[in-house]
Amino acid sequence: MNGIPTPLPCAFSIGITAGAWHTARDMWTGTELRTTMLELAPPGAACSVHRTGRDQAPLWPGELPAAGSMSDKRLREFSAGRYCARAALADLGIEPVALPVGPGRAPVWPAGIVGSISHTDDIAIAVVARQAALRSLGIDVESSDPLGADLLPLVCRDEERIALRTTGPQLLDGAKLIFSAKESIYKCLWPLTGTFLEFHALGIRVDPVLQRFTAYSQDLHIAETLRLIRGAYRSVGGLLLSCAWLDRADQRMN
């Protein structure tokens, strides 16, 4: 199913640097989330949004081994992600297939496809694209309420915290954006490097006017790839969406 027909009430209100975030919106729909994610993602991407309801969407046999040890909540989340991933693949003309869990917990996509899945308690979102267009892709969806203050040192490097302090009381909103950007970048980077990364392994630079981000690292294993990854973010009705991708057109990658 593409889109969620019923608007859901959200009670969040955020704001960061002027022009960067929308302030109080109290409703979102699946259609709105899908449209926004497609605006963030580069051309050629397909997206689907699915509500994580009380009923579990059916899994394919190749997905069942991973599902065996999951709690009911986790199973609903996992199956909603697979459900909307198959819907997004259908938009690319790909027949439904099993999407097993691969190394590092990353989904195993059909040959020639890159993609990414994210969930909240209420929804799952999947974005996919053909490898002919993109080398890799990572997405994240979070509630746009501020990051917990206790998580700030874990998520943000010193220089990121210094930069965020200029946003004053909205520091923890900015920290949430950095959190989401790092999650997207991690998912984009994983298929290329297979490297687990701590939050401090990379830093994020945010352009609040264009609502874009880039990443950098002193770790030579990932620094060059990171330099080529682009990111974009947007706040929609209490949710924060981010997308990071590595363009196929960039020939500097092998």
Instruction: Enumerate binding residues for ligand COA (CB under 6 A).
Output: 77-78, 81, 104-107, 116-119, 140, 182-183, 185-187, 190, 197, 199, 201-202
Angle 134-82-181 (CA atoms, 0-180°, nearest 5)? 50
Taking the C-alpha atoms of residue 196 and residue 194, their distance in angstroms, rounded to an integer, is: 7
Q: How far is the CB of 44 from ligand COA (least distance, A)?
A: 19
Give every CB contact of residue 194 below 8 A, 6+ residues apart in sequence: 103, 104
Q: How far is the CB of 117 from ligand COA (least distance, A)?
A: 4
| Edge-to-edge order in the sheet of strand 46-51 | 46-51, 123-130, 113-119
Contact present, 81 and 96 (Cβ < 8 Å):
no
Pick 187 or 248: Cβ nearer ligand COA: 187
- Based on its alpha-carbon atoms, the radius of gyration of the chain, rounded to whole angstroms, reads 17
Q: Which two tokens stand for residue 215?
A: 């990443």
Pick 74 or 165: Cβ nearer ligand COA: 74
Pick 20 or 204: Cβ nearer ligand COA: 204
Q: How far is the CB of 18 from ligand COA (least distance, A)?
A: 28
Pick 15 or 59: Cβ nearer ligand COA: 59
Q: How far is the CB of 180 from ligand COA (least distance, A)?
A: 9
